Amino acid sequence: MTRVMLDGIAMKRQSKSYIDSLYAILTAARLFDGPKYKLAGLTGMAFKFIVHERLLPLSVSAYGQWGDEHEPAIRNLGLYTVWDAGRTRHPTFAYYQQDAVNWVKRSLDAGIGVIYWLPEFGVICGYDDEDQVFYVQDGHSPGTSVVMYDNLGLNFTGFWYCQMFGERVQIPLEAMVLESLRLAIHDWDTPHKTLPNTDIASGKLAYSFYRDGLRRGDFDERGAVYILDDYAYTREEIHAYLSEVSGTLNGLSEAAAAYAELAALLPVIRSCIESDGAGGRRLARPQIDRLCELLQQAEELEDRAIATFRAISLQYPDPSRTTIRRWGVASPR
């Protein structure tokens, strides 16, 4: 019987759980060298802002069809990747589950961890054939939990997702930065990523959804704080990322300046969160009008930065988006 436990993987929840997981895996496998904010920026994941109309906590990870969202992020890093996902209610799930058990173990044998939907995203960092379990990190605590092979993919959401990684080819930094701007533009311009449902908004529209949810007053208290925490952290990531790479493309310093102004608003935005007296946190109701005003200012600053991204993007060819594929485009079934 085989037992594998990878050393060096230490997932810590800070950013979006997908980036937290990806960073832990890639740095341990020496497939990425740099701070987490740079990974969040290059993949475009930091730019994702999603809000449910009632400010439900699921907003943070409901940024679209995960495979479609993650694939361009990983491609921009030059990484080989394999992923599988779907709904556990599908009658073929058991077959895909068994296949995933096998290739997850192969990835661990090769010394590379695997991203896994718990929910949210976590890291599979080992396995034990004798006990028939995988070892998983969720980033909330330093220890590991176990998932039985027979339970891989099963959780209360009804969705499952696993993703492994391989070797990396080198892409010039300028090219990666340019593509990250285009990913940001796409997110900003796409109002709904989970069609046909329109109760979750993306990008620019997400700001309106958050403000409208606050003004209606019947929002989810925990979700409102969770979304705001994620928003503030990822905007800090964008600020740090653009500050580092602003010299790679002409004009990018203007967008970096807009996000610097946005980052200056974040301490005031965070001050609108208070203790609920029971060990938790909530939005301070008397501060909601002020918070809406601050988010309006933040939206205008981000819109200004995205306009700069557009101007930069137009200076370079974009064959991946302007070439029509021979086989056309089909929606997922």
Calculated CA dihedral for residues 296, 297, 300, 301, nearest 10 degrees = -140
One-letter amino acid at 215 equals R
Q: What is the predicted pLDDT for the residue at 319?
A: 84
Residue 109 to residue 129: CA distance in whole angstroms: 12
Neighbours of 273 (CB within 10 A): 18
Average pLDDT of the residues in 107-118: 98
What confidence category does residue 287 fall into, taking pLDDT thresholds of 50, 70 and 90? very high
**DSSP-assigned states of every residue in 95-135:** HHHHHHHHHHHHHHHTT--EEEESSSEEEEEEEETTTTEEE
Q: What is the predicted pLDDT for the residue at 234?
A: 98
Q: What is the predicted pLDDT for the residue at 52?
A: 98
Q: Which residues contact residue 311 at a Cβ distance below 8 angstroms, ignoring those fewer than 6 apart? A: 251
Q: Which residues contact residue 76 at a Cβ distance below 8 angstroms, ignoring those fewer than 6 apart? A: 42, 43, 44, 171, 176, 179, 180, 183
What confidence category does residue 4 fall into, taking pLDDT thresholds of 50, 70 and 90? very high
Tokens read off for 246: 């602003």
329 pLDDT above the threshold of 60: no
Tokens read off for 267: 């301490």
Length of the chain: 333
Q: What is the predicted pLDDT for the residue at 333?
A: 47
Tokens read off for 281: 């946190």
Q: What percent of the chain has pLDDT over 70?
A: 97
Q: What is the predicted pLDDT for the residue at 61?
A: 96
Q: What is the predicted pLDDT for the residue at 322?
A: 81
Average pLDDT of the residues in 283-288: 96
Domain ranges of the chain: 3-33+79-168, 174-317
pLDDT tens digits, one per residue of 13-46 = 999 999 999 999 999 999 999 999 999 999 999 9
pLDDT tens digits, one per residue of 138-151 = 999 989 999 999 99
Integer CA distances (angstroms), 282 to 182, 305, 317, in order: 35, 30, 46
Q: What is the predicted pLDDT for the residue at 77?
A: 98
> What are the strands, taking DSSP E only, across the chain?
3-5, 50-52, 79-87, 114-117, 121-128, 133-137, 145-148, 159-168, 200-202, 273-275, 281-283
Q: What percent of the chain has pLDDT over 90?
A: 92
Average pLDDT of the residues in 234-247: 98
CATH entry 3.90.70.10 includes domain 3-33+79-168: yes
* Cβ atoms of residues 193 and 58 within 8 Å: no
Average pLDDT of the residues in 298-319: 96
Average pLDDT of the residues in 67-89: 96
Q: Is the pTM of this model over 0.85?
A: yes
